[in-house]
Chain A
Amino acid sequence: MAKLDSIIHQPVRLRIMSSLMVLDQDEQVNFIYLRDLLKLTDGNLGAHLTKLEEAGYIKIEKTFVARKPRTFISATGKGRDAFEGHVTALKEIIDSEKVK
């Protein structure tokens, strides 16, 4: 039986991870792009990203593009596994009702 993940289950973090899961393993998304896509404030997104980074679920990379500072975010292998496990656990909860 798959295990629910309390870090990922928080609604904003769930949306962040869902968005990152769409990208390929080698792809990173820009902070601003993610903020606009999920309609979050800088502070809100930053706080949740820190939580996910501390758990080892995402990687945050600060770099320069055309001499401008950019922050890129990507899901780590550990984060991808945790997300998939969490989604499987959610499905199992729903399926258990169907069995009843």
Chain B
Amino acid sequence: MNVSQEDAHEALSAVKNVMVQTRKAIASSYASDLLIMWGLLWIGAFIASHFYLAYAFYIFISMSVVGGLGTAVIYQVFRSKASLNDTSFQKVGWRMFLFWIFLFGYLIIWLCLLAPFSGLQCNAFICTAIMFAYIVIGLWFGSYFMVLLGLAVTAATLVGFYLLTPYYCLWMASMGGGALLGTGLYIRLRWR
């Protein structure tokens, strides 16, 4: 089989274009919805924590439950449109669900064991613990986006906690929630 260099260039360029197009199509179909939902939840939870810091624990547990249910609904809607059939997700779906249930159970145990906590410490502890879970899941499933997101939000949490203490929650609302919301909106508006 003979292929000229011009044909080879053309074929490689087609490969690259289709791969980029497919990635964007998949990301804009449900990843953007997930990012927007989590971004709004984070912003809401952090702003609420800024005003009611003593209730930060309950605010974040509630946010996580709502977010978890929302994630399941968005994924189910996406699947019912039957764009992608992710058998690996189906295999690990229940285990993943149980992982988060156990994580939140253990978070409650640790918070009880380590009490008394200030609202700020409680908030930062939950954030970093959840981000640690993101990193572990990202490494396990080869999702570098999750690893990077986990590391970036952990870094933002530490900066806010130690350097911007009075504005910690507002900082986290803009850096954590804003970044998620901004990424989701960017994907939705620019990639479709």
Q: Which residues in A have some Cβ–Cβ distance to B below 8 Å?
A: 4, 6, 9, 11, 14-15, 18-19, 21-30, 32-33, 37-38, 63, 65-66, 68, 70, 72, 87, 90-91, 93-94, 96-97
Contact = CB atoms under 8 A, between A and B. Distances in A.
Contacts, number: 90
B22 interface: yes
Interface stretch (B2-10, B67-75, B108-116): B2-10
B84 interface: yes
30 contacts: A4-B1, A11-B11, A14-B11, A15-B18, A18-B19, A18-B22, A19-B18, A19-B19, A19-B21, A19-B22, A22-B19, A22-B26, A23-B22, A24-B88, A25-B88, A27-B85, A27-B86, A28-B84, A29-B83, A33-B82, A33-B83, A37-B22, A65-B79, A66-B80, A90-B8, A91-B12, A94-B8, A94-B9, A96-B5, A97-B5
Contacts of B84: 23, 27-30, 33
Contacts of A29: 83-85
A22 to B, nearest CB: 4
Top 8 nearest A-B pairs by Cβ distance?
A26-B88, A18-B18, A93-B8, A28-B85, A22-B22, A33-B83, A90-B8, A19-B22
B85 A72 contact: yes
A19 B1 CA distance: 24
